[in-house]
Structure 1
Amino acid sequence: MAQISSVRLQGIGASEGISIAPVTIFCKDKIQVQLRKIDDAESEYERLDKAIAECYADLQAVHAEAGKRLGPEEAKIFEGHLSLLQDPSLRKKVTQLIEREKANAEYALEQHFDTIIAKFEKMKNEYMREREADVRDVKERLLKKLLGIADQSFPEQSLKVRSILVAHDLTPADTTSLTVGSTAGFATEIGGKTSHTAIIARSLNIPSVVGVSGLTNAVNPGDTIIVDGREGVVIVRPTEEEIAKYESKREQYEAEKTALASLIHEPSLTKDGRKIEIAANIGSPLDADAAIAVGAEGIGLFRTEFLYMNRSSLPDEEEQFEAYRTAVERMSPKPVVIRTLDIGGDKSLPYLPMDPEMNPFLGHRAIRLCLERPDLFRPQIRAILRAGEYGNVHMMFPMVATMTELRQAKEMVDEEKAKLRTEGTPFSDHIPVGIMVEIPSTALIADQLAKEADFFSIGTNDLIQYTLACDRMNEKISHLYQPFHPAVLRLIQMTADAAHRENKWVGVCGEMAGDVQAIPLLVGLGIDELSMSASSVLKARHLVQGMDYVELRELARNALQLDTQEEVLRLLERSRRNRNA
């Protein structure tokens, strides 16, 4: 009988590591909901209330178990699920649908959740879009309660041998129940690197790949598969040669991991003594532990949007203060740069109505929205100022385009300081206030802005697409999204030079910061700080320690003289080969 050929599938690496093992397939039954006209709305309300209460109790148990297995910070992932169930608008909107449509509770609930899910799916920001999976998980749990469907037993409980789990999707609760002893790795058809499932996988150190299209159709029970969580590769039914190759890669990976771990407490210095701060980007307080674990020298970008998601109303000052304080205390005395709210564009919130815009990325978002909505902005400013009492806090405004915006935002900060002082509320009066450089106009007047901003942090993702008038999510023009375009490089250099003339520091917190191809060029352009995902920190430190700053300055000067991205990339490749020679 002829052997079925191996199949190589590409996905997204969610948790690093390489596993080779037999496959176990986990298939969830699809939940079918049908419209049933009802006469007794009250009985449907009671069914809904019972389902919410039972689901809440189940998730409390999951939250408690996650706390034991993963720690209190990772367990906070499930607080979003619980808050959804506690949200008064859930019951209000579903009961309104029951009454208006004369519909059964499960149908009304599905309609309500599908509306929320559709809004999340439209978001282009990966971090925000991945929260849709949490909403879907709560929806399915409630539907099962209403329909009397028992939870399917998770396959790990009956595994005879250590296996790689394959599924269309795994919920955070599914992932929390995995153990390294039984599960060698997992791969799913949907999901992203910032999903809660991926975060838990990294916490458990289980190699995993997500977003693997066509995976469940490609595997059969008992197949051997390879999961490469670094490269995002899944190989189904590998050949003996492929197995040997990946066993060797696994040994290399483990050796590299051991070598990188030795750098955790070392400074990020070039060979000739130039200090580059290697910091981490985080999206919630629980991410701070991952930054600490790899020796990040600070938090270069604390995204605060997580506080505003999966809820029906704005977070108050106290809730924000507690979240910021948690991260700041964990990182102290290292700096934590807290970015004020950046919504609008691709990050709209279901409970915050915003007028439709022809081009939301050029519209009413970030600092523009906050300046017009002091009810949004002032409580956050106060919370950040108060958190400054507990560590080294920096405040950063996103999407600043003009000097007027910076001055207006700083004026609000001064006003809130005065109020806190009058109230006798403790706060830090010495928090540096900086801006993100994401718009070409900001880079072009960086010399003026540097006189009034305490620091700059370049958001390369937006700077690139605004400079080249290119939506990076649009496949038709994705070739124009060029991080190494000479125009982008010149704007970065202008920003760095302007900051240094005023003795201010400048960082990069976009994707380029963690790109090993870009790091030598960014350092050569004068960047002082690189902020990236925690998983990239040690690789970046290792790279910085092997470079000479004087040579990188020459590399940057040469790159700025070139005409195209392709020429820059060729220059960088030659430089890399010379360093490794």
Structure 2
Amino acid sequence: MLAAAVAGRTASGQPAQEAAALKAAIEDATAEIVKLIGTLEGEVADILEFQVAMLEDDALTEGAYDAISAGISADHAWRSALDAEITGYRSADDEYFRARAADLVDIRDRVLARLSGADATAKIAGGAIVAGDDISPSTFLAADWTRGGAIALAAGSPSSHVAMLARARGAPMVVGLGPLSWIGSPPSLALVDGDAGIVVFDPEPETRRLFERRLAAANAAQAAADAGRLEPACTADGRQIAVLLNVAAPEDLASLDPAICDGIGLVRTEFLFETSRGLPDEETQYRVYRDILVWARGKPVTIRTLDAGGDKPIAGLTVDGESNPFLGLRGIRLSLARPEVFRMQLRALCRAAVHGTLKVMLPMVAVPSELDRAAEILDTEFRDLQAKGIACARPPLGIMVEVPAAALRAADFAAAFYSIGSNDLTQYTMAAARDIGAVADLNDTGNLAVLALIAGTVEAGQKRGVEVSLCGDAAADTHLTAALLATGLTTLSVSPIAVARLKAAIAKVGS
């Protein structure tokens, strides 16, 4: 069983000293996280950035300092204030906020540990099955999941930061099991099926045999898929399908052979804009883009311009307090509103383009004028670089199709290519977010309305003679592979961990 334990401390009895102790503990905890962020990139760093932002929010700490002024010790004041916040997050109507409760628990225990001098991070042995109410990002990151293991949670959320980490590392995880109650000591054995969302504690021998048989079959299927990882993707009836990679940060590529893919269909650039590091300059961006293109060895690489806003706020750049940030100033809208940031990114991309086959993609485009304005800015920056004698190339400019308006009128856009973002296209078409449990069943890319928009975009691309790909999460859902290919798609882009499984699923289509 997973249980957090934080040692107690002896209070000074002096409000001023207690306030100073809490301030120092918060600063130490923040510095600890920032130091850890310096060793990470991409999704993991983004998760810890969220914790830094919370610790730097005066609204979070105000209640604790008020309690200290009234004579409460620093540790009790902090715990009380954070527990109230945690309760509020856990009871929120919005699943997004409920999913962040584990981060607040992590923050609470980090600061309490700094106050008491204890280690708040539970230690998990390699290969263990973790059972508990929830698990913090710190605890998850402290474990070695390459040795196996699984997670079974009474509460938790499929859209929590830990759930994202578990999916990225292939750690089976089941949430929302309800109270984990048993008589006497905890179970000695548990079976966790992350795909089916099933956990069996202390299984009967026959249940265990059936599970082991299914596990062996799944492992054999994965082994067969892995064997074809370097082979081209081809359907049973002979259609060639391009399989590209989605890349969240450069380290995703460190141990990969370019031979596993036909190129990179999506490079997310948000990792460069993490708040603790400040906005990146042109040279920093250029070097990262260049290195990715060099890795690809001439294969096409599609880099998406900054997709900030919505659920990806960036301090000092995105707009605070929007009533509905998913329908606000995000993606290309934000880039056009902050042209100084946009121009710098486009300059870095033009410079990097000489090192490979680069394509640049604009997120959240809704109307052709947005693409036209972006193209004008790109042309201006390209000409300026040329005039200064700086090595550069003008990359083709395409759009993400994730707004139904863009899908319905795809042929109106003078895009060099289209890339369908199935996550947002599904969300906006069905008016249902996948992280809100009550409507999650509506958030289905396999819905005929969503598939019709995908098919229409493919048709527009075929008429214009430009490539259409799909880079959203639906590309990795092998239950949807046949339906997606039936729309006419011939290019799918997925995370590296999903490549082998997708190629195996493609091979079965048309059989």
TM-score, length basis structure 1: 0.71
- CA apart distance, 1:313: 4.6
> Residue 280 of structure 1 aligns to a residue in which SS?
strand
Change in CA separation of 1:326 and 1:209 when aligned onto 2, cut-off 3 Å: farther
Please point out which of 337, 340, 345 is paired with 1:380.
345
Q: Distance in 2 between matches of 1:55 and 1:491?
A: 45
Residue identity opposite 2:112 in structure 1: L
Matched residue SS, 1:165: strand
1:142 aligns with 2:111: yes
What residue number does 2:506 align with? 544
Partner-residue secondary structure (3-state), 1:276: strand
Secondary structure (helix, strand or coil) at the match of 2:230 reads coil
Distance 2:404 2:416 in 1: 19
CA contact (8 A) 1:81 1:135 kept: no
CA–CA distance in 2 between the matches of 1:79 and 1:448? 36
- In the alignment, what sits opposite 1:27? 3
Structure 1 residues 351, 436: closer, same or farther in 2, change over 3 A?
same
2:492 aligned with 1:530: yes
Q: How does 1:251-400 map to 2 (within 5 A)?
A: 251-289=216-254, 292=257, 295-309=260-274, 311=276, 313-349=278-314, 351-352=316-317, 354=319, 356-400=321-365
From 428, 438, 454, the equivalent of 2:416 is 454
Q: Deviations 1:135-194 (Å, cap 9, x if unpaired)?
A: 76455323311233344662539xxxx742323344455345545798644434435478
From 440, 453, 457, the equivalent of 2:404 is: 440
1:156 to 121, 125, 135: 125
State the alpha-carbon separation in 1 of the partners of residues 412 and 366 from structure 2: 12
For 2:190, give the aligned amino acid.
Answer: I
Distance 2:354 2:87 in 1: 38
Counterpart pick for 1:190 among 142, 147, 156:
156
- Give 1:35 deviation, angstroms: 11
Structure 2 counterparts to residues 2-151 of structure 1, below 5 A = 25-29=1-5, 40=16, 44-45=19-20, 48-49=23-24, 52-53=27-28, 56=31, 77=44, 81=48, 90=56, 103=69, 137=106, 140-151=109-120
Do structure 1's residue 493 and structure 2's residue 493 form an aligned pair?
no
Preserved contact between residue 279 and residue 300 of structure 1 (Cα < 8 Å): yes
1:466 is the counterpart of 2:428: yes
Q: Count residues with an aligned counterpart.
A: 505
Q: Judging changes above 3 Å, is the alpha-carbon distance between structure 1 residues 279 and 144 closer, same or farther for their aligned structure 2 residues?
A: same
Q: Could you tell me how far apart the structure 2 residues matched to 1:116 and 1:305 are?
A: 28
Cα offsets for 1:428-471 (capped at 9, x unmatched):
x142211011223212322221xx21100112233234334445
1:276-318 deviation per Cα after TM superposition (whole angstroms, max 9, x unaligned): 1112323322333576599233332223333344538534444
Alpha carbons of structure 1 residues 405 and 132: separation in structure 2 relative to 1, 3 Å:
farther
Return the offset for 1:26. Answer: 2.1
Alignment of 1:385-424 (within 5 A): 385-424=350-389
Structure 2 letter corresponding to 1:437: V
Separation (CA, whole Å) in 1 of partners of 2:218 and 2:352 = 39
Tell which deviates more after alignment, 110-119 or 405-414. 110-119
- 2:178 aligned residue: 214
Q: Contact between 1:483 and 1:512, CA under 8 Å: does it hold in 2?
A: yes
Cα distance, 1:110 vs. partner?
9.1
* Alignment partners' CA distance in 1, 2:116 and 2:312: 34
Opposite residue 187 of structure 1, the aligned amino acid is A
Would the aligned equivalents of 1:399 and 1:439 in 2 still touch at CA under 8 Å?
Answer: yes
Deviation at 1:263, TM superposition (A): 0.8
Any conservation in 2 of the 1:175–1:201 contact (CA below 8 Å)? no
Q: Percent identity?
A: 29
2:481 pairs with one of 519, 527, 540: 519
Unaligned runs of 5+ in 2: none
8 A Cα contact 2:243 2:491, kept in partner: yes
Q: Residue 397 of structure 1 contacts residue 435 of structure 1 at CA under 8 Å; is this kept in 2?
A: yes
CA distance in 2, matches of 1:376, 1:419: 16
Assess if the C-alpha contact under 8 Å between 1:264 and 1:538 holds in 2: yes
Alignment partner, residue 464 of structure 2: 502
Which segment is superposed worse, 142-151 or 405-414?
A: 142-151
Does 2:212 match 1:243? no
- Residue 392 of structure 1 aligns with an amino acid whose one-letter code is T
CA distance in 2 between partners of 1:442 and 1:527 (Å): 17
| One-letter code aligned to 1:28 | A
The 8 Å contact of residues 171 and 197 in structure 1, kept in 2 or not, is answered as no
The answer for the alignment partner of 1:10 in structure 2 is: none
Judge conservation of contact 1:280–1:291 (CA < 8 Å) in 2.
no
What is the aligned counterpart of 2:192 among 218, 227, 237?
227
Q: Structure 1 residue 351: deviation in Å?
A: 4.7
Higher RCO (Cα < 8 Å, 6 or more apart): 1
1:421, distance to aligned residue in structure 2 (A): 3.2
Q: 1:416 to 1:514 in 2, by over 3 A?
A: same
Contact 1:277 1:297 (8 Å CA) reproduced = yes
Q: Distance in 1 between matches of 2:81 and 2:381?
A: 42
Q: CA deviation at 1:46?
A: 7.2
Offset of residue 545 of structure 1: 2.4
1:570 corresponds in structure 2 to none
User: For residues 48 and 334 of structure 1, do their structure 2 counterparts lie closer, same or farther at Cα, with a shift above 3 Å needed?
Assistant: farther
CA deviations over 1:77-136 (Å, ceiling 9, x no partner): 469759977x9x94999999999987577657996999899999989897x997885676
Gaps of 5+ in 1: 1-24, 549-578
**Per-residue CA shift, 1:370-416, capped at 9, x if unaligned?**
21122332233233333434443321111111111110011111222
On the 8 A contact 1:110/1:139 being kept in 2, the answer is no
